């Protein structure tokens, strides 16, 4: 049995408030624990989006009542909430800026809208951007101009990882994360198809950023030292929605993160040290997260099995990795002294999770 620290996932879509038929604070945190993740940071593109004191309280109240693992909540950057965001920063995981379109309503089209956020949001609090390709270059320039750290969410392209590498070499304070689906899937990977709905597109492929080419995936693996964190971008939607005429982008990922990474460790594509560095140590540093005392996970590193959505805790009921053979299974999760998960069962109640901004560091 392999003993590891509890993992931190800095990019999770909990879907509460507003879309609890996809997921909520209860099922998302069960999914996290089953995946060996003891701390999640939740994204703000809910319904309503989290962008002021009232909506932040809405999310934090739900989390306080329902979360089973520890959590933080991002605030979304809007066209006119830079002052409010800065004043609320201490209660948040950080600020999330959507510079390219994705699921939800939070998008800042115009660069004049970025400036007040880069200027006002406290430099010692995390600022995360969804920025792809050329808007990523612009975001990195903003970080340099305002001399503040910026964290780039879910990089997926060769040009992106090479740009971040160059920016780091120049001393710009940029960090980044990569998602398992961008490391293990390409635009050509066979994925489960929608069944008999006569749909024009395979909605189960839809994700932002899109799945990329093999050359991009290869570049991510070749430049793993440039990548600071693994993050799932756990973005659950139901199968009915994914197979509809207008499929929303997003994959669930909390329960497949660790088995996929451990399988890569087994294949010597990654070291166990890398895994811990990018799933625990770096996210703790980048997002200023407290240590979780008496917290660890136990993994059977020799257990070989197939990934099955039917065995997962996420409410969305599917996974793009259905049927994948993996090696490494989470047996037990201990969170702050209490066994939270063991052999397929969740053992802590709703409300056991703590807001990371209230935990002692």
Least distance between Zn ion and beta carbon 235 (Å)? 6
Q: Which residues pair with 98 in a beta bridge?
A: 130
Residue pair 174/167 in contact by the 8 Å Cβ criterion: yes
147 φ/ψ sector (left φ>0, alpha ψ -120 to 50, else beta):
left
Least distance between Zn ion and beta carbon 12 (Å)? 8
Identify the H or E element spanning 328: strand 325-335
Q: Is position 16 an interface residue for Zn ion (rule: CB under 5 A)?
A: no
Residue pair 229/209 in contact by the 8 Å Cβ criterion: no
Residue with the shortest CB distance to Zn ion: 233
Q: Which stretch binds Zn ion (CB under 5 A): 29-37, 230-238, 291-299, 334-342?
A: 230-238
Q: Is position 233 an interface residue for Zn ion (rule: CB under 5 A)?
A: yes
Instruction: Please count the other Cβ atoms lying within 10 Å of the Cβ belonging to residue 271.
Output: 12
Q: Which stretch binds Zn ion (CB under 5 A): 119-127, 174-182, 212-220, 226-234?
A: 226-234
**Residue 3 burial by Cβ neighbours in a 10 Å radius (0-12, 13-18, 19+):** exposed
The whole-angstrom separation of Cα 26 and Cα 34 is: 12
**Which C-beta is closer to Zn ion: that of 9 or that of 233?**
233
The whole-angstrom separation of Cα 296 and Cα 50 is: 31
**Which C-beta is closer to Zn ion: that of 233 or that of 255?**
233
Q: Which stretch binds Zn ion (CB under 5 A): 47-55, 92-100, 189-197, 225-233?
A: 225-233
Identify the H or E element spanning 282: helix 282-286
Least distance between Zn ion and beta carbon 183 (Å)? 16
**Which C-beta is closer to Zn ion: that of 12 or that of 167?**
12
Least distance between Zn ion and beta carbon 142 (Å)? 20
The site for Zn ion, by CB under 5 A, has a size of 1
Q: Binding residues for Zn ion, per CB under 5 A?
A: 233
């Amino acid at each position: 049995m392999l003993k590891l620290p509890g993992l931190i996932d800095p990019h999770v879509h909990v879907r509460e408030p507003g879309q609890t038929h996809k997921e909520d604070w209860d099922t998302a945190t069960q999914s996290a624990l089953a995946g060996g993740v003891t701390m999640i940071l939740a994204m703000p593109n809910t319904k309503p989006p989290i962008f002021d004191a009232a909506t932040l309280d809405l999310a934090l109240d739900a989390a306080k009542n329902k979360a089973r693992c520890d959590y933080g909540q991002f605030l979304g950057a809007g066209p006119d909430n830079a002052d409010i965001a800065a004043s609320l920063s201490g209660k948040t995981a950080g600020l999330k800026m959507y510079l390219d379109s994705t699921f939800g309503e939070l998008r800042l089209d115009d660069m004049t809208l970025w400036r007040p956020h880069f200027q006002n949001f406290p430099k010692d609090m995390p600022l995360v951007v969804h920025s792809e390709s050329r808007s990523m270059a612009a975001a990195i320039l903003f970080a340099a101009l305002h001399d503040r750290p910026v964290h780039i969410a879910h990089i997926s392209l060769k040009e992106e990882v090479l740009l971040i590498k160059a920016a780091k070499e120049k001393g710009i304070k940029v960090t980044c994360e990569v998602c398992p689906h961008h490391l293990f899937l390409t635009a050509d990977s066979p994925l489960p198809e929608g069944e008999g709905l006569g749909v024009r597109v395979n909605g189960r492929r839809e994700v932002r950023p899109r799945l990329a080419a093999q050359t991009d995936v290869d570049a991510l693996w070749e430049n793993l030292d440039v990548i600071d964190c693994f993050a799932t971008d756990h973005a659950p939607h139901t199968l009915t929605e994914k197979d509809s005429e207008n499929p929303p982008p997003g994959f669930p990922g909390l329960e497949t993160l660790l088995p996929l990474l451990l399988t890569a460790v087994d294949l010597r594509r990654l070291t166990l040290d890398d895994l811990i560095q990018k799933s625990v140590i770096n996210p703790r540093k980048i997002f200023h997260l407290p240590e979780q005392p008496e917290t660890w996970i136990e993994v059977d590193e020799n257990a070989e099995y197939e990934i099955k959505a039917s065995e997962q805790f996420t409410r969305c009921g599917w996974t793009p990795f259905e049927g994948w053979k993996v090696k490494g299974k989470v047996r037990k999760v201990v969170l702050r002294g209490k066994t939270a998960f063991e052999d397929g069962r969740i053992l802590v109640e709703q409300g056991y999770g703590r807001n990371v901004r209230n935990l002692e560091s």
